[in-house]
């Protein structure tokens, strides 16, 4: 049973304090995981804070992206989610949840490493949603390594193209369509300033995205466009068992002060805040949601 979002609860016991050691095929689908992550399906209650907004959420099929899509829809936003073709099963579930909230939900399968696809995603959102107000750059690639000697050029290019280049391409395509009051929200990570050697290339990209967030915020601020980021700590999503050894998955999140991994539902409110008018004076901001890590 998912905890009620408004009831004070001990955060150390709100969810299980450990995850079972497991691996699943990359890129990972939610149905292969155990336990199933909480995306807020049974707990998130909207209050109209994003009424009439139009949003793109990359990596919106599962994990944090799904939680954000659910929250945005229940706050009144129409949503287009971007995902890999092999993640269609998860994407269909997310779109159904968006539509169940009475909002328009669109699935856009493709590979963000293709610059033309990134441009087409923005154009599709503008056409089918009637405009664009929010871009959530959440999709990411990671794969753990034993040492720098194991980091192939192929992996390095894939990680940077997915995490950094695609964020730049999408933002570049979106800004001309934004009116004052629009926003870009980037998913960064605690890895940006507290890196793990096993995630060398991934951590580098997240540091780059922090810089990009602070930098772009300065440029587009005069247009009334805000650029912010959320920095998750260890969060239970398909990315974890699909990219890490089983022994690391088993201990995932237990080293945090709260003693457990986070759930996607616990991240969504930060993305809602940064997209809403409530955060009108927040730009170039990084919100850390990491269980104290």
Question: CA angle at residue 268 from 22 to 34, to 5 degrees?
Answer: 20
Token pair of 80 as six digits: 């287009």
- Partners of 103 in the β-ladder: none
Spatial separation of the C-alpha atoms in residues 172 and 165, rounded to whole Å: 10
b (16+ CB within 10 A) / e for 92-111 = ebbbebbeebebbbbbbeee
Question: Any idea which residues carry the catalytic annotation?
Answer: 202
* Domain locations in the chain as residue ranges: 40-289
Residue 214 corresponds to which tokens in the numbers above?
């602070």
CA 276 to chain centre: 17
Using DSSP's 3-state secondary structure scheme, residue 170 falls into helix
Q: What is the pLDDT along the chain (293 residues), one digit of tens a residue?
A: 567 777 899 999 999 876 778 899 998 899 888 889 999 999 999 999 999 999 999 999 999 999 999 999 999 999 999 999 999 999 999 999 999 999 999 999 999 999 999 999 999 999 999 999 999 999 999 999 999 999 999 999 999 999 999 999 999 999 999 999 999 999 999 999 999 999 999 999 999 999 999 999 999 999 999 999 999 999 999 888 998 888 888 889 899 999 999 999 999 999 999 999 999 999 999 999 999 98
4 torsion bin: left (phi>0), alpha (psi -120 to 50), beta (else): beta
Name the fold adopted by 40-289: Rossmann fold (3.40.50)
pTM of the prediction? 0.96
């Amino acid at each position: 049973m998912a905890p009620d979002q408004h009831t004070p609860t001990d955060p150390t016991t709100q969810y299980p304090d450990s995850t079972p050691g497991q691996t699943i095929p990359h890129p990972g689908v939610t149905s292969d995981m155990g336990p199933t992550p909480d995306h807020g399906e049974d707990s998130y209650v909207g209050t109209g804070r994003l009424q009439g907004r139009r949003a793109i959420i990359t990596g919106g099929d599962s994990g944090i992206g799904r939680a954000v899509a659910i929250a945005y829809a229940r706050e009144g936003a129409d949503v287009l989610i971007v995902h890999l073709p092999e993640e269609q099963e998860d994407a269909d579930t997310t779109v159904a949840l968006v539509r169940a909230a009475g909002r328009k939900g669109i699935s856009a399968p493709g590979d963000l490493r293709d610059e033309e696809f990134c441009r087409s995603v923005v154009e599709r959102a503008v056409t089918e949603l009637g405009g664009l107000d929010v871009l959530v750059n959440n999709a990411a690639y990671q794969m753990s390594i034993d040492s720098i000697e194991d980091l192939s050029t192929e992996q390095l290019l894939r990680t940077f193209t997915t995490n950094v280049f695609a964020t730049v391409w999408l933002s570049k395509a979106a800004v001309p369509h934004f009116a004052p009051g629009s926003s870009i929200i980037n998913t960064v990570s605690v890895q940006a300033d507290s890196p793990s050697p096993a995630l060398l290339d991934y951590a580098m990209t997240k540091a780059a995205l922090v810089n990009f967030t602070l930098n772009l915020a300065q440029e587009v601020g005069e247009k009334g466009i805000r650029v912010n980021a959320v920095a998750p700590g260890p969060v239970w999503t398909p990315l974890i068992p699909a990219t890490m050894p089983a022994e690391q998955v088993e201990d995932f999140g237990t080293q945090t002060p709260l003693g457990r991994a986070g759930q996607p539902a616990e991240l969504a409110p930060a993305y809602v805040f940064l997209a809403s008018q409530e955060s009108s004076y927040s730009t170039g901001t990084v919100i850390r949601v990491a269980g104290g890590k």
